[in-house]
Every structure is written in C-alpha cells, then in structure tokens.
Structure 1
Amino acid sequence: MTEIHTKSAKEPYSPEARDVIITVPNAISVLRIISIPIIAILVSRHHMVWALVAIALSAFSDSLDGVIARRFNQVSKLGQILDPIADRLLIFCSILALGMAHIIPWWVLIVVGLRDLLMGILILVLAQHGYGPLPVHFVGKTGTALVMTAIVLLIFADIWKSPVTMTLHLVALAICIWGITLYWLAGLIYMHQGATLIRADSGK
C-alpha cells in the first residue's frame, strides 16, 4: 500500500505526472474506492470469506494500476491523489466494520481516524502554500502494511472459531498496535516536514 504522495507544486516529486483525468489507472482507483463500502458491509455482517476475496481483488488492483501507469506513461497528478485516498479509506472503513462486528475495540478506529484527520488538515494547510501532499516515507508504508496485514488476519480469524484462531486474533491485534504506532510515527514525521516547508515559505 502507499502513503499519500503527489509531486510538490514547488519542487517536482514525479516529473512523469501529467494533468490528465481520464486514464485506465485512475478508473481502477475509482473502482477501488467504490468497492470499499462493499468490503465494509461484508465485514460488518461477518461474510468474511467474501470480504477476503474483495480485499484480495482490491490489493491486486492497487498493484495493477501502478504497473499500468508506469508502463504506459499514464502517471497523473489525479492518480497520485486517488491511490492513497483509496488506501486510507480502505483502512478506515475496514476498521469501522471490524468495530461494528465487535471484533476490535472502538479505540482503534478513533486513533486511526484522528491521525488521518490531522494529515488531512496538514494537506490543506500545505495547499495554501502551494505544496501538494508530502512524499511517501518508509515508516508510513510499513505502518500501513502492518495495519492491513492485521485487518486481513482479524477477518481470517473470525471465519472459524477455534483455539488456533483465537491465538491468531491476539497476534493480529498485536500487529495492529505496532502498525498504528508506526502509522502515528510517520504522521509526526510528515507534520515536522510540513512545518519546515511552511516556515521556509513564510520566511521568503
């Protein structure tokens, strides 16, 4: 999965990105976003096998749109925004559904939602200074990967009720906590980078 990353309005992040809207990768990203409520409904109603299938298709499409964009020169500014939005929505809606299904505590949703809210505010502030969202950081990518791994394991553990899956559930919660910790650490890094850009811009 990817963290939010588009090229800066002042310092180019990806010289291949173009001002185009209608591309195959963008269409795939839109379909991913449309599929997210379906995944959330499947999880909240404990249709876990179908939820896993839907998440697997979403993950495949996430890789597919990147390959198509690079191979056929269809990297776009809109696509660089849509892709991370889809990732963020998938995580948030999946955690919301897991909470509604009483599989994870609600504080997980609050912690993740608060972090993404702060990042959204940061992006808006940066936009006022002419910057796009910040480039991806490996800490953020790792945190996102751990959280998504935990979500998949939690869904899988809910399919069969047994001592083994109960252990898997606890392992998944531990992975989720580590992922959220890195998720927040990346958020602090982004806020520091954003504050540095804003101070530099204000000092000109």
Structure 2
Amino acid sequence: MRGTSPGFARSLGLSSPMGGVRSRDGRHRSCLYASEWPCNSAASLSPFVVTLALMTTANKITLVRILMIPAFVTMAIYYGQSIERGAPLEWQRFTAILIFLVASISDGLDGYVARRYNQRSSLGVILDPIADKGLLLSGIITLSISNWSKVDPEYGRFPVWFPVLVISRDAVILVGTAVLYFLVGHVKVKPNWTGKVATVLQMIAIAWVMLQLQWVPLIWVVAAAGLFTLISGIIYVLEGVRQLQAEGHANAR
C-alpha cells in the first residue's frame, strides 16, 4: 500500500490517507507516502486495518452488508432447528428478519452515499453486486433447507427446484459473460426489466417465508419468481449470442 499512488487508491474506493505531515516547504504530505513519524506509525498497523481505515463510507457500508450474510444464515438455520425440536425460539426468527431487513436497506444506502458524496469506485463496483447476490442467494438457499413454519412445511421452505433454478441462471450468466469477454474483449451489460422483476419477486418470496404470510399460497409466489428468473436468464443468453454474432464469433465457418 505504501507505494500506491493517490489516484489509484481513490479508484479502489480508498479515501484520503490517514493523517499526514508537512514537509519543510510547508506542503502536506500523505501518511501513506511519507516515511517519517507520524507517517511511519501506519506501517505498524496490519494491512487490513489500514485498508479498512482508508475505505470510503459507501464501501464500508457494503462490506458490513457482506458480513451480515453469515449472521443471517446462522440465525435462520438455528430457528429452523428450534422448530424441528418442537420449541421455536422466536427471538432467533426476529433477529434473522432484522438482519436481513437492515442488510436490504443498506443496499440502497451505500448507493446513495456513493452518489451523494462522489464515492463511486472500482472496489464498489466489485463489492456491491457480491453483497447483493450473496444476500439474495443466502436467503433462498437457507430457506430451502430450513423449515420456518410451525404448522405447514409447505409455507416454511422453498421447493428444491427454486434455488436450483436461481443458481443455474446466475451460473449461466457468469460463464457466458466470461466467454464473451474472452472472445470479444468486452461485455456490454444491458439490464433487462425481467431481471429486475425476478429480483423483486425473489425478495418477496423470501419475505413470504420469513413473515409466514399465508393469504396467498407460497408456491404461487415462488412460481412467479421462478418464471421471471427463467425468462430473464433466456433473455440474457440471447443478448450474449447477439453480441457474439455482432463480432462474428457465432457464425458457422
């Protein structure tokens, strides 16, 4: 980190370096790039602590959201186990719901902070989708293996095909993107409205299980989410093929 230029650090989402000193000519010198005290005190800190201290507020929020994922999964599984024992611990359910809710809200918060305070960064571009997809997949997978209903298991967990479909679609998109980048050298990402609807419906399905809503059968909600997940996956695949054809890589030789 000590040899990193200020511009590169900012592109990674690192804020102004910690502290600083003034040289003999009176100009400020950053702690990351000066060798004398107090700058050299940063060298005694671990790289993780230094990096964390230099991260932008938006990226810190995103990082906290990522760290919430294992906490949510733990509480969700423990609650499911308490139901299996016949002694549901409702505080575990409420804790899992609260963690998931705070994590979901932070998704919009880090984006707002990044835009409002000009904290867009290359690191944020990487961390944000990891946090978003990680939270969504953890909810779907966890609520597929853990029963949350004290009365009817049909309302307490997702059918097995649902997480398989969601994971398969994401895997196909990821592999397709890698292939497209390898063959073409660039990827034009064009978000489709069906993908956004699929994400919203997946979130609704997760909420349906956690809140134990029963005025509409869970399978209907899951079916709607699954349908748009499938449609959006097909559309993204077709878009990838179109981009390959435009570059002449999908034509028969």
**TM more than 0.5:** yes
Q: Is the 8 A contact 1:134 1:190 kept in 2?
A: no
Q: Helix, strand or coil for the counterpart of 1:45? A: helix
1:132 deviation in Å?
4.3
Residue 37 (structure 2) aligns with: none
- Measure the CA separation in 1 of the matches of 2:60 and 2:165: 31
One-letter amino acid matched to 1:20: L
- Measure the CA separation in 1 of the matches of 2:93 and 2:203: 15
Is 1:68 aligned to 2:123, yes or no? no
Is 1:127 aligned to 2:181, yes or no? yes
Q: Which whole-Å deviations, capped at 9, do the CAs of 1:141-167 have from their partners, x for residues lacking one?
A: 11101111110120111xxxxxxx5x2
After TM superposition, the structure 1 = structure 2 runs for residues 74-89 of structure 1, keeping only pairs within 5 Å, are 74-89=119-134
- Measure the CA separation in 1 of the matches of 2:57 and 2:241: 35
Structure 1 residues 70 and 107: alpha-carbon distance in aligned structure 2, compared to 1, 3 A threshold:
same
- Measure the CA separation in 1 of the matches of 2:233 and 2:11: 28
Which ranges of structure 2 fall in alignment gaps of 5 or more residues? 1-9, 15-55, 80-91, 148-156
Residue 12 (structure 1) aligns with: none
After TM superposition, the structure 1 = structure 2 runs for residues 158-197 of structure 1, keeping only pairs within 5 Å, are 165=213, 167-168=214-215, 171-197=217-243
Structure 1 residues 184 and 19: alpha-carbon distance in aligned structure 2, compared to 1, 3 A threshold:
farther
Flag the structure with more relative contact order, 1 or 2, with Cα contacts below 8 A and sequence separation at least 6. 1
1:40 deviation in Å?
1.5
The alignment yields a C-alpha RMSD, in angstroms, of 2.0
One-letter amino acid matched to 1:147: Q
Is 1:53 aligned to 2:98, yes or no? yes
1:140 deviation in Å?
0.7
Q: Tell me the matched-pair count.
A: 177
- Measure the CA separation in 1 of the matches of 2:187 and 2:102: 29
Q: Is the 8 A contact 1:48 1:156 kept in 2?
A: no
- Measure the CA separation in 1 of the matches of 2:58 and 2:187: 20
Q: TM-score under structure 2 normalisation?
A: 0.64
Larger radius of gyration, structure 1 or 2?
Answer: 2
One-letter amino acid matched to 1:149: I
1:101 deviation in Å?
1.0
One-letter amino acid matched to 1:139: T
Q: Which whole-Å deviations, capped at 9, do the CAs of 1:166-190 have from their partners, x for residues lacking one?
A: x24x533322221121122111111
Q: Which runs of 4+ in 1 moved over 6 A?
A: none
Higher-helix-fraction structure: 1
Residue 199 (structure 2) aligns with: 144
Q: TM-score under structure 1 normalisation?
A: 0.78
Q: Is the 8 A contact 2:165 2:229 kept in 1?
A: no
